Every structure is written in C-alpha cells, then in structure tokens.
Amino acid sequence: MTATIAQYPASRIFTWRLLRRPGTATLTGLALALPALCFLGVFLWIPALRLIAAGFLTQDSRGALGGPVTLSHYIHFFDTSLYAHVLVVTLRISLATAAIAAVLGYPVAMVMTRSHPAIARIVTFITIAPLIVSVVVRTYGWQLILGNGPAGLLNYVLLSLGVIQSPLRLLYSEAAVVIGSLHVFLPMMVLPLASAIGKIHPRLEEAARTLGMPSWRVFHRVTLPLSLPGLAVGFTLVFSLTAGSFVTPAMLGGTNAQMLGNLIDQQITAVYDWPFGATIASVLIAIVVGVNLLSMRMLDGRRRAGA
C-alpha cells in the first residue's frame, strides 16, 4: 500500500512557503508527525522486534523467556515436514489467489475506467462495498455456498440440475480457501489496476487500433505493459494479505488447508509455546516484507528507467 501512495509525483507535494522560515518548518513537520511516530514505535516497532527476538530465546517451565540464544526453533520449523508443509500451502494459496485476482482484476478495472460513468460507478460500488463487510461474515457466506453435503448451495443446485449424482466435497480444501481469499482481496487488485489503467492516455490505445491492431493485441502491446506498475502493487497487496490471513483458512480450510496464521494461533493459544509461535510469526513477516521490498525495487527501477 505504501507503493500506491508513493506514486504521487513529487511536484504535487507543495509546502507552505510562508511556513518555511529556515529551520522552523522542519521542526513543525517533525512535531506534527511525532505523536504518530511515538505511538507506532511503542506499540508496533518495538513489540514487533521483541517478538522476532523471542523466536531466538528459550522458554523455561514457568513460561518465562530468556537465554540461551538459540536457532533451534527455526531448525525445528524447517525440519518438521508438517510445518514445512504449512509454509508451502501458505505460499501456494497466496500465489494462486494473487494470480487469479490479476486475471479477474483486468476486466473489472477496464470496465471501471473505460465505460459509461453510470456503469463504472455501479462496478466500483459492487467491488468496494463488500470490503467494508467483515471478513467473518463474507467467509460465512462462502461456507453456506460451498457446504459439503446436499444442503450446500452449490451442491444443491448441481444435484437439482442432475449435473452430479452425489454431493461434492468443496469445503475444507485449498480451493475453498483460494475462493474465499479471492473474494476478500479482489478489490486490492482492482483498485491499483484501475488507477494505473486510468493514467494510460486513451489516444495510445486509439492509435494502435487505428493502425489496425485487433483489440486483444492492443491490450497485449499497450494496456498491459503500461499498467504493470498497478499490477505489481495489486499482486503484492493480494499476496501479502492472503499470506497473513487467519479467518478464511480457519473457516474454509479446516485442517486440510492450514496456513501460517492458524499455526501461530495454535502454538500460542493452545500449546503456549511462545518462542515457536514467534518463530512462525517471523517467517510470515519475512515473507511479507520480502515481497513488498521486491515490488518496491521493481517499481523504483521502472521509474528510474522511464525518467
């Protein structure tokens, strides 16, 4: 999300000229940001660093954390096939969700930016409105649709139509988690795509069409390459948000599609193994921060190449 904000060209950032008595403006600026920075420091950055540190500590029998410093929790995580499997499932679900969201996101983003304003407004409304509905509620809706047994909506419809003879097992699978995650995070792909496509000058596409390119080639040669920054932002958002989710895999994946978030919950709430829970959380942080840095570097490289 930082990337979307970072896209504002520097020229748009004005400063109050009259505030700019040498020295004072800098101080005012810092003073304005200071409360937020202190709050974030005390309640986010320091606790996050302490959590990461906890992954290298040892827990004694009374639950207190202390020395010796050890890598054993990380070795335990990567060496146990169960945990390594959860890591792979998390990456697989996040990658599938982000990739499918990109494919579905393009048509929606194009209609949002390139159609009659009334249609564009309706599509924007339907895309964004569910974002304000709690993930728990939306995922519950998918439970009703994907429900195993003849009473699930999809099974009911397919059985009534005679497409299948016995109910499918849809719920509690990786596919169900991907469907649920897509529903939750699709707007995070559509919005950056729409803002990138909105910035492409329509004349470019028009010119390509006038020169005889078929529509799909115009998309492939003009729209797609010019919207890549939006795609990178959307992909990063959907991937990291999916990787860090808890509710969707808990309600739609069950024990068949556990993700890192569910493992953290299990280790800390049920097993009360803080160092190991912290280790898994650190792995999750590493994945998310890694993907974000990668995409920021990509976007920076493009901007520099373009300039």
Partner 1 sequence: MNARLTGGMAWVLYATTGAIMLFVLAPLAVIVAMSVSANAFAAFPPRGFTLTWYGKVLADPEFLASLSFSAALAACATAGALLFGLPAAFALTRASVPGREALRVLLLSPLIFPVLVIGVALLRLFSDWNSNSAPLNLLIGHILVTTPYVVRTVTASLLLADVSLEEAARTLGAGVWRVFRRVTLPQIAPGVAAGALFAFMVSFDNYPISMWLADARYVPMPMLIYRQVASIFTPAVPAISTLMILFAFIMVVVMERLTGLRRAMAM
- Comparing CB distances to partner 1, the nearer of 85 and 201 is 201
Nearest-approach distance from CB 80 to partner 1, in angstroms: 20
| Closest separation in Å from C-beta 246 to partner 1 | 5
7 half-sphere exposure, CB direction, 13 A CA radius:
15
Smallest distance from partner 1 to CB 211, Å: 15
Which of 33/71 has CB closer to partner 1?
Answer: 33
- 36 or 305: whose CB is closer to partner 1? 36
Residue 19 Cβ vs partner 1, minimum distance, rounded to whole Å: 7
Task: Tell me the closest approach of the beta carbon of residue 159 to partner 1, in angstroms.
Answer: 10
Nearest Cα neighbor of 100 from 235, 272, 243 is: 235
Closer residue to partner 1 in complex, CB, 81/307: 307
Please state the closest distance from residue 121 (CB atom) to partner 1, in A: 8
Instruction: Give 22 or 81: the residue with its C-beta nearer to partner 1.
Output: 22
- Nearer to partner 1 by Cβ, of 134 and 165: the residue is 134
Nearer to partner 1, 186 or 257 (CB): 186
CA–CA distance, 180 with 151 (Å, rounded to integer): 19
Q: How far is the CB of 270 from partner 1 (least distance, A)?
A: 13
